[in-house]
Structure 1
Amino acid sequence: MSEVMIAVIIVAALLLALLVASLKVVREYERLVVFRLGRLRGELGPGLVLMLPFLDRSVRVDQRVVTLTIPPQEVITRDNVTARVNAVVMFKVADPVRSVMAVENHAVATSQFAQTTLRSVVGRADLDTLLAHRADLNEDLYQSIAHQAVPWGVDVVVVEIKDVEIPELMQRAMARQAEAERERRAKVISAHGELEASEELRDAARTLGEAPAALQLRYLQTLLELGADQNSTVVFPLPMDIITPLMGALKQFAPGEDGTSPPPAAEDSSGGPS
């Protein structure tokens, strides 16, 4: 083999190696931000990308949704309660060029800003709002973080508060408060039941008073219920319209306060009582 052939083979091998080094495969969810001699060339991909060796430098940017966990933050709420709150932020890169040019590390910047925003938003709310109206706080967090991340080419998808830890003493106080609230509701329900029952009894008494026959039937039904239980003691209820004349007659024959019988009724000259 001649020297010319060997030189041609070496040059062809070098060109092939150079061509292989110039080709890059970019996945569908990735983009390459390319710099040529330090100047921005632009965004390339996906697919097969040709770059000049030793002249082009690239930064690979992932455009998939990233889940970022915010570590627990010590927060003092508006009503001076210390709580530990952590959250989760889900974001993705919407503009690869801005995510590289505008900020050094968009993930770290988003994490740090989310931590400060979490402390600020939770510090403006009281404990009841933090526990019962978490959706409103999530919306405030989302608006603040999403607005700040726009210049970085980052699109915030979801911001959610994951967990809220409060002191054990406060947990006991809240448990006592919840128990007292349940007792109050039970008493209110019982009072409403008593009120409705008294109204029904009033209507029933009014109906029975207007129909003496119905009162007599109710009396007989009560006797039947007493006899069905096989009790040794039987109570006979007597209507007041029967007892009242009897009590009046007994008062006429009752002895006076000194133990003597009351004097008989005096008669006038016409033979009738005076």
Structure 2
Amino acid sequence: MGFTLTFAPLLVLLVVLLASAFRVLREYERGVVFQLGRFWKVKGPGLVIIIPVIQQMVRVDLRTVVLDVPPQDVISRDNVSVKVNAVIYFRVLDPQKAIIQVEDFLMATSQLAQTTLRAVLGKHELDEMLAERERLNADIQQVLDAQTDAWGIKVANVEIKHVDINESMVRAIARQAEAERERRAKVIHAEGELQASEKLMQAAEVLGRQSGAMQLRYMQTLTGIAGDKSSTIVFPLPVDLLQGLTEKSKT
């Protein structure tokens, strides 16, 4: 009886150690195993056996992480202060590097994303931030991916969400857009006048080839005016038309 009571705690301890030796890793998880403090191997997914006390395992999630970058104060190249926030999509490709090379890869990636966002956008003007977001997203993604490669992390995509501008700058941009529309309207009107003058010149050349062509054109214009309901019609009579009528009367 005493022998049974003596070995009962040892039996319980053995059962606990055996139970702690078995780990189950999901399909999207990997286990970085350390043996006596030194890296041994990456295990998983499925059933993993760990030698208690001698080996320790750190779980790593391989799924894509969606990281929301908080609003950052950015001064553009044309000295405009804006607040910009973004979202970053990344995942762990090398669990060994993600655990050994950096203390907390999530925090490190977040801080690196904030500084990179300010550094990259600070090299561009406000108009580029508003109109060329795809190119800026690609630039930020390329810089982040190059710097996080040593941590075993792949940055898949970066999206700038909002570019917040103060009210005074919004009014200035509105005035600039209005002036730009007025400029385009004037240019279009001038181009229309130029094209119309060229067509009129071509028409004058065609009408000038025949002496009776101009007279027929005046008659056609008179016919069009006669269809209107205006009470008074002032129509200039060209000298060439009088000369043509005079020549016909003499004949």
Residue range with higher mean Cα deviation, 3-12 or 149-158: 3-12
Rg larger in structure: 1
Q: Would you say 1:226 and 2:217 are equivalent positions?
A: no
- Maintained 8 Å contact 2:215/2:241: no
SS in 1 for 2:103: coil
Instruction: Report the number of matched residues.
Output: 245
CA distance in 1, matches of 2:209, 2:226: 27
Q: How far off its partner does 1:5 sit?
A: 10
Question: 1:71-106 CA distances to partner (integer Å, 9 max, x unpaired)?
Answer: 111122222211111122211111111111111110
CA distance in 1, matches of 2:31, 2:2: 42
Q: Would you say 1:96 and 2:101 are equivalent positions?
A: no
Letter in 1 for 2:101: A
CA distance in 1, matches of 2:31, 2:176: 58
CA distance in 2, matches of 1:81, 1:236: 61
In structure 2, the partner of 1:30 is 29
Q: In the superposition, relative to structure 1, how do residues 10 and 109 fare at CA in structure 2: closer, same or farther (>3 Å)?
A: closer
Q: Which consecutive residues of structure 1, in runs of 5 or more, have no partner in the other structure?
A: 246-274
CA distance in 1, matches of 2:12, 2:105: 41
Q: In the superposition, relative to structure 1, how do residues 230 and 160 fare at CA in structure 2: closer, same or farther (>3 Å)?
A: closer
Q: In the superposition, relative to structure 1, how do residues 197 and 109 fare at CA in structure 2: closer, same or farther (>3 Å)?
A: same
CA distance in 1, matches of 2:105, 2:115: 16
Written as runs of structure 1 = structure 2, the 5 A alignment for 1:1-274 is 18-242=17-241
Letter in 1 for 2:225: L
User: For the aligned residues, what is the CA RMSD?
Assistant: 2.9
- Maintained 8 Å contact 1:74/1:84: yes
Q: In the superposition, relative to structure 1, how do residues 184 and 244 fare at CA in structure 2: closer, same or farther (>3 Å)?
A: farther
CA distance in 2, matches of 1:39, 1:147: 28
CA distance in 1, matches of 2:241, 2:16: 124
Q: How far off its partner does 1:181 sit?
A: 0.8
Q: How far off its partner does 1:236 sit?
A: 4.7
With a CA cutoff of 8 Å and minimum separation of 6, indicate the structure with the bigger relative contact order: 2
- Maintained 8 Å contact 1:75/1:85: yes
CA distance in 1, matches of 2:235, 2:74: 72
Residue range with higher mean Cα deviation, 2-11 or 175-184: 2-11
Question: 1:18-75 CA distances to partner (integer Å, 9 max, x unpaired)?
Answer: 5443222111111011223333221110111112234332111001111111111112
CA distance in 1, matches of 2:154, 2:163: 26
Q: Which consecutive residues of structure 2, in runs of 5 or more, have no partner in the other structure?
A: 245-251
What TM-score results when the alignment is normalised by the length of structure 2? 0.85
Letter in 2 for 1:44: K
Q: How far off its partner does 1:226 sit?
A: 2.3
Q: In the superposition, relative to structure 1, how do residues 46 and 199 fare at CA in structure 2: closer, same or farther (>3 Å)?
A: same
